[in-house]
Structure 1
Amino acid sequence: MQGASTGIVYGGLKYQARCIADVKADPDHTSFLAGTLSLREENEVHLIRLLPSGTELVCEGLFYHPNEIWDLKSCPFDPRIFSTVFTSGETYGASIWKIPELYGQSNAPQLEQLVSLNEHSFKIKCVLWWPLGKHDKLISIDEGNLFLWSIDSSSKIAKVISKESVGMLHNLSGGAWDPHDRNAVAAICGSSLQFWDLRTMKKTNSIEHAQVRDVDYNPKKQHLVATAEDECGIRLWDLRMPRLPAKELPGHAHWTWAVRYNPEYDELILSAGTDSAVNLWLASTTGHDDSAAESLVDSPTRNIDPLLNSYNDYEDSIYGIAWSCREPSMFASLSYDGRVVVESAKPYIRTK
């Protein structure tokens, strides 16, 4: 199904971009952070805000960033703090930044670098914040290692609590932190998805033979994850029965790059890919019975198509998608050409 796009477009990013994040900690505005990926120009982080009218996106703040941004996450408990993974030539780094308090009064205010995660000797892939509120720990993942950090932003101190190598034959590329368990993390590792206990830094479980590009935990129910995969599109897994997926969704015409559960309506799932499309899916949380999903959306038939809508108003690959925690019916997507579009999934949510 493809509907006419009613998306709100922000075209302020001058350069190519891959990273967008919801500013979860801002209770008053629907805001997103987007970071650019220019090899030759000075890169930028844009604080983008949806006006109260819901009809326009504006640049609330524009900040120079020294290097190409490959990963960007907003702090879940402070709206002015975020992390980036960046590259300069062959060198990769990761830092936590703070937006200056009077950022609206300067043309291009300098970001304050709180801490640098500089213990990595491999290519850094991502930084993970625990998603549900204040926590003084951070995870960073490079190609060969998992790091658990203790972070004190006020004192600008970052210490490695523990570190574990996944071995020479593996290649980590990303991960997600379990919102139901501070000690559990999923790590994308070559042709498997690995699950680690942060107390022992040991692997507890794995899903094999899956070429995963992204993973996300169900925010409402334990043991459930979604993966974006090259050949299989989207798979939903029950980690108590990890040998086979609970459900498969057909995915995209090309690589499926990103997958995100809705923070409130966990039957709604977004995916994005290199086919220049964002897909909105309706999937039951058990994988075996769609009756729960039917209560979410008005449906005249029992057999409902899991693909609710495909948003194709793009001209380039889409690597970044983010639901709004403040308005869970809204989401933003970022195409590689620097175009941000905010869409509403409200037509597919039945109010009770």
Structure 2
Amino acid sequence: MPSFQTSGRHGYSVQFSPFFPHRLACASCQYYGIAGGGTLFVLDVAQDGLRPVQVFDFSDGLFDVTWAENNENILVAAGGDGSIQVWDVLQPKGPLKILKEHSKEVNAVNWSQTRNENLVVSSSWDNLIKVWDVSQSQSIRTHVGHSHIVYDVVWSPQLPGTFASASGDRTVRVWDIRGGDSCAVLIQAHSEEILSCDWCKYDKNQLFSGSVDGLIRGWDIRSPRLPFCELRGHEYAIRRVRANPFLGTSLATTSYDFTVRTWDTSQQRMLETIQHHTEFVYGLDFNIHVPGQIADCAWDGVIQVYQPQSCVPP
């Protein structure tokens, strides 16, 4: 199991490269994100572990990272100073560009997979969502509607111009940038704050949410009054939900209970509990090139790459 120690940095988010099967990035913070700076790690999976390719330091904490879909060396990170930064793996001196419009910490950034434009969506503690063309100096849209922190935002992998957001106001919302600034679907999803959401990679109408109430729920955006599945097993809040790109009924989640768990959504049951961290597990991603391979990161400063058998297609 390849692993890497971030040495005084607490892992918040990890994402595999869409171009290279062996490369991933991790956004991290000093002092649990409360104070201090942040570090963006770019790592390669090697036979002897995870090897650093580039390490970028930033003046504030980094809470999320997303790879560009049109350039193998470009990343965007979410900053605690309200900025998003554009980084180039080949330019070690600092970010290529800093875009700052959010008035509070940026929790999430995500690069669109369905459009040719350089579209990135960001969400923040200021309750706002912004859509950016990173070739421009200002955001191109601001979406208002959530009444609390927007913890997560993710583009649909199949519906052009569509993304979902998860908020502390206990709703998941679906937005279509082609149809105006208001949300297209409003889901009263949980009884507590919602920290993460993700789209099914096989059914364009399905998405999943994870909440402080310890539940993972699946939703059909065409009829969102009731969930089509509910998954129980984590002892504390769900921090990250990610859908398996190789199995349409497979999920993985991270939690404040120090575990990663895998699930079968069709049978609504937990498949596996992975306990290799000693602190809150924050970041999680599936490798789109290697069936069933997962990366995670935690507040214990460890990044792990592994392949649970429950996530591998039969």
Give yes or no for TM over 0.5: yes
2:145 aligned partner: 166
Bigger shift: residues 14-23 or 322-331: 14-23
> 1:326 Cα shift?
1.5
Partners of 1:246 and 1:198 in 2: how far apart? 26
Partners of 1:203 and 1:347 in 2: how far apart? 35
CA, structure 1 residues 215+57, in 2 after alignment: closer, same or farther (shift >3 Å)?
Answer: same
Conservation of the 8 A alpha-carbon contact between 2:262 and 2:311:
no
User: Among 215, 228, 253, which residue is 2:210 paired with?
Assistant: 228
Q: Does 1:208 align with 2:200?
A: no
Query: 2:278 is paired with a residue of what secondary structure?
Result: coil
Conservation of the 8 A alpha-carbon contact between 1:77 and 1:133:
no
Conservation of the 8 A alpha-carbon contact between 2:122 and 2:153:
no
CA, structure 1 residues 158+222, in 2 after alignment: closer, same or farther (shift >3 Å)?
Answer: same
- Deviation per CA, 1:305-335: give whole Å up to 9, x if none: 7222110121111011111111132101111
Partners of 1:349 and 1:277 in 2: how far apart? 19
CA, structure 1 residues 160+35, in 2 after alignment: closer, same or farther (shift >3 Å)?
Answer: closer
> 1:209 Cα shift?
4.8
Query: 1:337 is paired with a residue of what secondary structure?
Result: coil
Q: CA RMSD in A?
A: 2.2
Conservation of the 8 A alpha-carbon contact between 2:247 and 2:313:
no
User: Among 283, 295, 314, which residue is 1:320 paired with?
Assistant: 283
Query: 1:271 is paired with a residue of what secondary structure?
Result: strand
CA, structure 1 residues 62+122, in 2 after alignment: closer, same or farther (shift >3 Å)?
Answer: closer
1:44 aligned partner: 39
Partners of 1:282 and 1:185 in 2: how far apart? 24
What is the count of residue pairs matched by the alignment?
306
1:340 aligned partner: 303
Structure number with greater Rg is: 1
Partners of 1:350 and 1:19 in 2: how far apart? 25
Conservation of the 8 A alpha-carbon contact between 2:175 and 2:185:
yes
Unmatched runs of 5 consecutive residues or more in structure 2: none
Partners of 1:24 and 1:151 in 2: how far apart? 18
- Map 1:289-304 to 2 at 5 A: 290=267
Q: Does 1:23 align with 2:17?
A: yes
Partners of 2:274 and 2:60 in 1: how far apart? 31
CA, structure 1 residues 209+226, in 2 after alignment: closer, same or farther (shift >3 Å)?
Answer: closer
With normalisation by structure 2, the TM-score equals 0.89
2:55 aligned partner: 62
> 1:133 Cα shift?
6.8
Bigger shift: residues 37-46 or 211-220: 37-46
> 1:135 Cα shift?
2.9
Query: 2:305 is paired with a residue of what secondary structure?
Result: strand
> 1:16 Cα shift?
1.8
Partners of 2:286 and 2:123 in 1: how far apart? 23
> 1:338 Cα shift?
1.0
Conservation of the 8 A alpha-carbon contact between 2:214 and 2:237:
no
Unmatched runs of 5 consecutive residues or more in structure 1: 1-6, 102-108, 285-289, 291-304
> 1:62 Cα shift?
2.3
User: Among 4, 8, 12, which residue is 1:10 paired with?
Assistant: 4
Q: Does 1:308 align with 2:288?
A: no
Identical positions, percent: 18
Partners of 2:59 and 2:103 in 1: how far apart? 20
> 1:8 Cα shift?
2.7
